[in-house]
Structure 1
Amino acid sequence: MLYVIGLGLSTIEDISIAGLNAIQECDYVFLDAYTSILTHGIEKVSAFCGKEVRKADREFTEQDSLMISLAKGENVAFLVIKEKSLDNLLHDRDIYEPPRFMLCSEAAYQILEAGCRIRQRFMDASADPDVEAPCEPEPEIYLHPDCLAICLARVGSPTQAMLVTTMGILSTTLLTGDTDNHPNILSGPLHSLIIPGKLHPMEIEFLAARLLIGDGKEDLENVPNGTSLPVLLPPTKASRSFRERVEAMFDRHHELLSTNF
């Protein structure tokens, strides 16, 4: 029997009880070591499970059939952080899945830059009849740099961090390489980027909770730990206070939503 068991969000202690019981009944345990980033070493996984854990790299996971062969007569556990390669594994396909890890700033830049390219293609076709128009229909809306961006890092771990800013600030930081106004708030992987729709008042209350407790200081040099509230990084407005800039950031996001939807 082959058991495909997902690990927790941050540490091996987050694994389900059913998953742990299955591991302890297995004769062989393999750990996926390439489709995502493990926040703890394989030795810790082995010590927690009470089993020898073997690392399964990219070639072993997607090309070698050893796990499938062993599972025909014995119990085998395959510990995964994400499931991107399971279809290839079960069908014994020699296909390498490309890595898709990036920082939130990289994701924001790529999203906005792709929208600019698409818009420019349609503008060129509209202005010059000799330019061939794109085959696909033009999108009805484009993501605006003023849209909110909620950045998460190492969710569920003791060092998790959250940042609330705009897509434009994130992408500009990557484009210019200027980090003077964008301190290392998120730090190491894994990162997640959320581009929200219309926010409920309670969601805004949480995201802007630093203001509710009177923490309106603009000094962001203190990297938050896992118990910190979201860090706020609104656009710079010389004539406005920090609180006013945060409120304007949320108002602008909702203004864009009401205009485009």
Structure 2
Amino acid sequence: MLYFIGLGLGDAQDITVKGLDIVKKCDKVFLEHYTSILTCGQEALEKFYGKPLLLADRDLVEQGAEQILNAAKEQDVAFLVVGDPFGATTHMDLLLRAQELEIPTQTVHNASIMNAIGACGLQLYQFGETVSIPFWTDTWKPESFYEKIISNSERGLHTLCLLDIKVKEQSEENLIKGRKIYDPPRFMTTQQAANQLIETVKRRKLESLPTPVDEKVQCIAVARIGSETQKMVTRCLDEMQFIDMGPPLHSLVIVGRLHPLEMDALKMHALPY
């Protein structure tokens, strides 16, 4: 049996009662460790669950999934995911592969950034397509996320921007040379995301391209949502690049057309801090 269990967004105690009961009975417990993180860390999870956790990085889940699937053929196996199990498409791929192998599966859902973002005061049904903002490099600066923000904005919809994280990543040099040396974990901040968006806007203006979403668009920076240190700040995009939101994880919301109730709610995050 293969169980997909959501852990929620805060700490070890955010797992559901059903999810915890399943984890305690499983023979093996894998912790997905590349699409998101919990602020409490692996040791705290192991202590609370009473189980050792096997870290499942991107390589294991996407290329070596047989290790998980083969174990689930004979044993009860839990696959733990921060947030909800299907917040990332790679986990659906794992479920489909399990079904092809006729491995029984069960899912225990939990809160994710996709619904918890409602805590910022914006109405969930007023959000458009969610976008991901990747870390830029000197030679790779994709801007497809900006086009989607424009599309949402033209319909008056808000945009949730999920910010890149890099866990167990190799530099280009180490990758080419086949050296198993990994860079320190990196988590994009709302400041970095704002900087990349502003650079996109400036470039498009220089090239006389449409820039309906510019430096003055209203944004909400969100940090560590669901935790005791949750923080939210509302500012224009050009001000957001100077706002330090503290430790990860961060998300950024580009605000669309506001309902009067949403306007009142945003005042909560516009206070001095």
TM-score after normalising by structure 1? 0.61
Q: Identify which of 108, 113, 116 aligns with 2:194.
A: 108
Q: Distance in 1 between matches of 2:257 and 2:35?
A: 32
For residue 266 of structure 2, what is the aligned residue in structure 1? Answer: 207
SS at match of 1:72: helix
Which residue of 1 is the match for residue 152 of structure 2?
Answer: none
CA distance in 2 between counterparts of 1:198 and 1:113 reads: 24
- What is the CA–CA distance in structure 2 between the aligned matches of 1:50 and 1:159, rounded to whole Å? 26
- Choose from 73, 79, 88 the match for 1:83: 88
Distance across 2 between alignment mates of 1:4 and 1:83: 12
> What 5-or-longer segments of structure 1 have no aligned partner?
93-97, 124-137, 174-181, 210-229, 234-261
Give structure 2 stretches of 5+ with no counterpart.
Answer: 98-133, 136-163, 166-187
Identity over aligned pairs, percent: 39
Match of 1:164 among 212, 234, 250: 234
Q: Tell me how far apart the structure 2 counterparts of residues 119 and 77 of structure 1 sit (CA, whole Å).
A: 50
Higher relative contact order (CA 8 A, sep 6+): 2
Q: What residue in structure 2 maps to residue 190 of structure 1?
A: 249
Paired residues in the alignment total: 182
What does 1:1-261 align with in structure 2 at a 5 Å threshold? 1-64=1-64, 65-81=66-82, 82-89=87-94, 100-101=164-165, 102-121=188-207, 123=208, 142-171=212-241, 173=242, 182=243, 184=244, 186-209=245-268, 230-232=269-271
Contact kept in structure 2, 1:145 and 1:167, CA below 8 Å: yes
Q: Cα deviation per residue 1:89-148 (whole Å; 9 max; x = unaligned)?
A: 4577xxxxx882311122122223223334443x3xxxxxxxxxxxxxx65x52121111
- CA offset digits 1:160-189 (Å, max 9, x no partner): 111111101124x3xxxxxxxx4x3x1111
Give the secondary-structure state (helix, strand or coil) at the position aligned to 1:52.
Answer: coil
Q: Find the counterpart in structure 1 of residue 171 from structure 2.
A: none
More strand by share: 2
SS at match of 2:222: strand
